Amino acid sequence: MITADFLPEWLVVLNPHAGCGRGFRDKGRISGLLDSSQLNYKLVVSEYPRHAITLTKEFIEQGYRKIIVAGGDGTLNEIVNGIFLQEAVPPGEIIVAMLPVGTGNDWIKTFGIPADYEKALKIILDGKVIKQDIGKVSFTDQNEEKVRFFANMAGFGFDAMVARKANSLKEKGRSGLLVYLQSLISSFVEYQVCKTKITIGENQIDDLVFSASIGIGKFNGGGMMQAPFAVPDNGEFQVTVIKKIGILGILRNIGRLYTGDFIKDRRVSTFKSTRIKIIGSRQIPGEVDGEILGNSTFIIEMVPERLSVIYGDDKYFATHPVSHRHKKLLKKPATAMERINSGA
């Protein structure tokens, strides 16, 4: 058995389905780039939905503390959930980096990571680390209490229907910006707003709600800036609520979704909060980082500055992290008392 002292430095989790099969097609190229960089790594492949959660938990228990996500936002979401569901070490002791393989690749836009493999790998080698915020969603699915963590954005109502349709198109081999635009338009034809009660800190909305977006990062849906005021390390969500809006309102705002200017519409409200509760008059869909949740009442809570990630630039951050901080983060395992004191 290989002990933790002799493990490769990095665990690389590759999703072959990411990017409509791009992960599978580019596996050889990704391995070649990693080899040429002389990174000491072990590559594993996720084979089915939620498999990356299991892989992450298992390899952290074996001693791995650095993980490269070779996938998209959904793969990152699974790895984040694996990190926060494992009990071997505090989540903040794990460092996550990204080789973007996905279709939307929205998380990287906030963290200054290019979609190009070679450039993204250079950022990993540079090794600048920041602790970003994480969201926790509690909900009920088929009478079972569940929890899901997210690193970028959660959406409820119309947003979740768009994500579900986009995922369906990706499974059929579609990719690119048109996936999200087609999903947005077709979802509008089908989606029916419902009376929804949203409690955002001390604020409350009780109205016909079209969608609610809760952002740590700024972007989702393939580059739509649905949370333009989100700051990934300030300990608060940006909440964007759109009340009932007609087809003309949607068409007028499609372009403005990519600049963040849609928030100027009179039917859009934005808030800052660390806790949100959403209750629909009927069941409403939800999604986190593009991954679909069961229809339910949702409670969303902030877990501040708990995930260590490698970034490219810090133009959207509240703080200016120290370069190569990851060397300090990989300290000896915390004692039981240190874990309790750190809130782990």
Residues 274 and 176 in one domain: yes
- pLDDT at 22 (0 to 100): 92
Q: Is the pLDDT of residue 343 over 70?
A: no
Specify the pLDDT at position 326: 44
Q: Per-residue pLDDT tens for 226-273?
A: 999 999 999 999 999 999 988 788 778 888 988 999 999 999 999 999
From the list 310, 265, 149, 126, the residue with the least C-alpha distance to 214 is 149
Q: Which two tokens stand for residue 31?
A: 């391995």
CATH code, domain with 241: 2.60.200.40
- Asked if residues 292 and 73 have their Cβ atoms less than 8 Å apart, the reply is no
Residues 52 and 104 in one domain: yes
Structural domain that includes position 287? 135-302
**Under a CB-based contact definition with an 8 Å cutoff, are residues 212 and 219 in contact?**
no
pTM of the model: 0.87
Residues 184 and 312 in one domain: no
> What pLDDT sits at residue 6?
74
The residues, ordered by sequence, that sit 6+ positions from 177 with a Cβ below 8 Å of its Cβ are 222, 223
Asked whether residue 108 falls in the same domain as residue 192, the answer is: no
What pLDDT is recorded for position 187? 67
CATH number at residue 64: 3.40.50.10330
Give the Cα separation of 103 and 83 in Å (integer): 23
Q: What's the confidence (pLDDT) of residue 342?
A: 43
Q: Which residues contact 232 (CB under 8 A, 6 or more apart)?
A: 110, 111, 130, 132, 133, 216, 217, 316, 317
| 311, 219: one domain | no
First-to-last alpha carbon distance for the chain, in angstroms, is 28
Tokens of 104: 């939307």
* In the chain, % of residues over pLDDT 70: 84
How do residues 161-173 score in pLDDT, each as one tens digit?
777 776 666 666 6
Same domain membership, residue 188 and residue 64 = no
User: What is the per-residue pLDDT for 254?
Assistant: 81
